């Protein structure tokens, strides 16, 4: 009275240990264990699916925000440059981003840069400019080299220099808001 299926001699089921061989029917008393294992596996699969969908949706929102950041910088400065740098607030998990680009044509960081601090949601493809600052060309230490802060950047004391460095063009505050 074996519950084992008949298999050709030397086939895969014959080589497996008895506990791993396929059965035609469940052994007595083990149905609830299999039900619990199946339920746990389904719940784990559901948890992984939800986590994956959440991660993809979050990344889509971040990508949408970064595109809006670039569009906002181009609209506020009037420059249609492609080589812009975007710095996200990854530690605080906020939507505060800083977008920097040259004030005149040239390679990245070869000219004086204007950096805009962008906050808030994306509305009509753009974001609010809460402030900003300027950076001299070839800047290595960005925190100490900031000058001509405006908006929230000036209020929070983000500028390291009180006046433009020698040779830097005069900086004019850009409009904040939309």
Helix (H) or strand (E) segment spanning residue 155: helix 152-155
Range of the domain at 125: 57-155
Tens digit of pLDDT for each residue in 142-160? 777 788 888 877 777 777 7
* Residue 5 located in a structural domain: no
Please tell me the total count of domains within the chain: 1
pTM of model > 0.75: no
* Residue 120 located in a structural domain: yes
Length of the chain: 178
Looking at residue 6, its pLDDT comes to 52
* Residue 177 located in a structural domain: no
Tens digit of pLDDT for each residue in 1-18? 445 555 445 567 778 888
* Residue 9 located in a structural domain: no
Tens digit of pLDDT for each residue in 74-116? 888 888 888 888 888 777 778 888 898 888 888 877 888 888 9
86: three-class secondary structure by DSSP: strand
Q: 131, 150 in Cβ contact below 8 A?
A: yes
Of 175 and 112, more confident: 112
């Amino acid at each position: 009275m074996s519950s084992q299926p008949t298999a050709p001699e030397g086939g895969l089921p014959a080589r497996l240990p008895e506990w791993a061989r396929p059965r035609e029917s469940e052994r007595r008393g083990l149905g609830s264990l299999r039900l619990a294992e199946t339920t746990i596996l389904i719940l784990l699969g559901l948890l992984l699916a939800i986590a994956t969908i959440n991660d993809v949706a979050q990344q889509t929102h971040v990508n949408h925000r970064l595109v809006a950041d670039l569009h906002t910088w181009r609209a506020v400065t009037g420059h249609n440059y492609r080589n812009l740098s975007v710095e996200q607030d990854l530690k605080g998990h906020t939507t505060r981003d800083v977008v920097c680009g040259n004030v005149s044509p040239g390679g990245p960081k070869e000219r004086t840069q204007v950096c805009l601090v962008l906050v808030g949601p994306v509305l009509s493809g753009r974001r609010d400019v809460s402030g900003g600052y300027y950076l001299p060309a070839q800047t290595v230490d960005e925190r100490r080299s900031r000058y001509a802060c405006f908006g929230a950047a000036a209020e929070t004391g983000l500028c390291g220099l009180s006046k433009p460095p020698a040779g830097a063009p005069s900086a004019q505050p850009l409009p904040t808001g939309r």
